[in-house]
Chains A and B, each alone.
Chain A
């Protein structure tokens, strides 16, 4: 595997379900990110991790819970979601966090549908 991988690629879940999204980066990067991409909206940064420590939590509802067990893996645990949470969830990594000097590399995304 190369680059950034995400599983599953598609997920349909009910509002009472609990599921997890997985992201793995094979680039040796130190920073990882979760983004939400909804139709007709700009990309929304959800969480940022640097060396497995959460750096940013952009006012994301608690029904989204991130986990970063090591610098290569990032999870997004989902529970009691709402239909408006249906979106493309993108994972990204960068070599470091420093001021935009490092570009972010993205995975293919998980298309989430909440019914």
Chain B
């Protein structure tokens, strides 16, 4: 069965600190896709990244970076030099051959000024 675990329920850091959000997944499929979404207080889920199982290259986009490691079934998300606007709930999700996304419970990130 597919499963996504975000063990960190809530993280609180001071602005400008780096922070890493953990995501561990389970799937028996060899082809699958991993996603990160951001949900700010306004409620809208914002797509951040999609990564397929054959591409283990790490991705960097500005202050955001993602570390995909198949050996540990993890797809962690790091924000460098965090800002107050990064405060949100972040969701990790998994999709395999089916179209359904399996969602983690989310990590609430609080960036204090």
Q: Contact residues of A with B, CB < 8 Å?
A: 31, 42-43, 45, 48, 55-56, 88, 90, 92, 94, 97-101, 103-109, 111
Contact, CB under 8 Å: A103 / B96: no
Residues of A within 8 A of B43 (CB): 88, 90, 108-109, 111
Known: A43-B91, A43-B103, A101-B33. A106 touches B46 (CB 8 A): yes
Residues of B within 8 A of A111 (CB): 43
Contact, CB under 8 Å: B98 / A99: yes
Looking at chain B's contact residues, the main secondary structure is loop
Q: Is the interface on chain B under 10, 10 to 19, 20 to 34, or 35 or more residues?
A: 20 to 34
Known: A42-B104, A43-B103. A105 touches B47 (CB 8 A): yes
Which residue from chain B places its CB closest to the CB of A31 in the assembled complex?
B99
Residues of B within 8 A of A104 (CB): 47, 101
